[in-house]
Structure 1
Amino acid sequence: MDFREVLLVLHILLAIIWAGGVLFIGWGVFPAFRKMAFVQQRTFLQALMQWSHKFLTAAGGGVVITGVLLGTVFGPISQWQDMITTRYGLIWITALVIGIVTLLWGTVVGFRQSARLFSKVTLWKQADAGNTKPLTKALAAVVLLESAEGVGFAALVVLMVLF
């Protein structure tokens, strides 16, 4: 196995960790934590986000870096012109932009919005006291905002199938 193949395996593994981790939190953990009391939900989600944010951001960054290397140093893009004059180059640059935007969206926009929600202790205490509507609305907004990452992942999968 040559170095390019090792890099490709690493790229795929990091993509699985990044996308799989984000999707598991959204579709696996998020619905399951709803069984807890609201104040416990806040504490749990805050701890989960603080731990997973660094790990998943690093995996996403690794996907972008290995993707750049696979397309350029160890791939067919040898000059700037290749990115706009070849089918591979157009797909590659599109995937690069979508990957970077998806990573930045999750690490900057989504994470900050979630952190803001978790810092609003009174919202969670109100929900524990029976007034769940404001928290439910805020959680729905975060879920909608975070779903942009899922769209980015889906677009990346479509582009990878096109290669």
Structure 2
Amino acid sequence: MIWIFHQIILGLHILLAIFWVGGLSFIGWGVFPAIRHLKYVEQRDLLLAIMKWAHPLFTIAGLGVIFTGVLLGTVLGPIDHWNDIWNTRFGSLWLTAFIVASLSLAWGALIGYKQMEKVLNNELLWIEADQGMKENLYRALLKLFLIESVEPLGFAVLIAIMVLF
């Protein structure tokens, strides 16, 4: 029975990871390029609507990934004592994955999202861009891209850790 429960939680862990990583990837590599033909103010309005709807879902999915990962490593996995975290390869990798996932989620949910809100709520940047003055918007978007890149970097580290398991 425990094996079946383990497989269900593992499936949920993978599904939530797909929602978290895949959802953010779709917005970054699908939505952003697709809206380039719209006026800048329309791009802003669409991105604001998408992010207000999607951000809570991505945060919940990220929390679910972390929670199921904790279950898979402890209750349903090999970590029975604190010593297992410090004295086994699995424990070290598990702790590293937990820290990286937690920091990635916190960065995306708190820092990256706040920066995105700041750029999207600055109507003047988008109006100026529609009038041909794009430099300030491009600078703000480059800064946003660099800040938002931390979360996908965390995803890459997590994938590398999973391969090491």
The interval holding the TM-score normalised by the smaller chain is over 0.9
Whole-angstrom CA distance in 1 between matches of 2:30 and 2:149: 14
The root-mean-square deviation of aligned C-alpha atoms, in Å, is 0.7
For residue 37 of structure 2, give the secondary structure of its aligned residue in structure 1: coil
- How far has the Cα of 1:27 moved from its partner? 1.0
- How far has the Cα of 1:144 moved from its partner? 1.1
Pair 1:27-2:11 in alignment = no
Whole-angstrom CA distance in 2 between matches of 1:33 and 1:105: 25
Q: Give the length in aligned residue pairs.
A: 163
- How far has the Cα of 1:28 moved from its partner? 1.0
1:94 aligned residue = 96
- In the TM superposition, 1:9-158 aligns within 5 A as 9-158=11-160
Aligned structure 1 segments of 4 or more residues deviating by more than 2 angstroms:
none
1:75-94 CA distances to partner (integer Å, 9 max, x unpaired)? Answer: 00001111110000000000
Whole-angstrom CA distance in 1 between matches of 2:66 and 2:21: 13
1:117-148 CA distances to partner (integer Å, 9 max, x unpaired)? Answer: 11110111000111001001101111111111
Whole-angstrom CA distance in 2 between matches of 1:31 and 1:154: 22
For residue 13 of structure 1, give the secondary structure of its aligned residue in structure 2: helix
- How far has the Cα of 1:150 moved from its partner? 0.9
For residue 132 of structure 2, give the secondary structure of its aligned residue in structure 1: coil
Gaps of 5+ in 2: none
Q: Quick check: 150-159 or 25-34, which moved more?
A: 25-34
- How far has the Cα of 1:154 moved from its partner? 0.5
Scaled by the length of structure 2, what TM-score is found?
Answer: 0.97
Whole-angstrom CA distance in 2 between matches of 1:111 and 1:42: 14
Percent identical pairs in the alignment equals: 48
Q: Give the AA of the match of 1:109.
A: I
Whole-angstrom CA distance in 2 between matches of 1:79 and 1:33: 51
1:81-122 CA distances to partner (integer Å, 9 max, x unpaired)? Answer: 111100000000000000000000110000000001111101
Q: Give the AA of the match of 1:62.
A: G
Whole-angstrom CA distance in 2 between matches of 1:148 and 1:27: 16
Q: Quick check: 94-103 or 23-32, which moved more?
A: 23-32
Scaled by the length of structure 1, what TM-score is found?
Answer: 0.98
Gaps of 5+ in 1: none
Whole-angstrom CA distance in 2 between matches of 1:54 and 1:151: 21
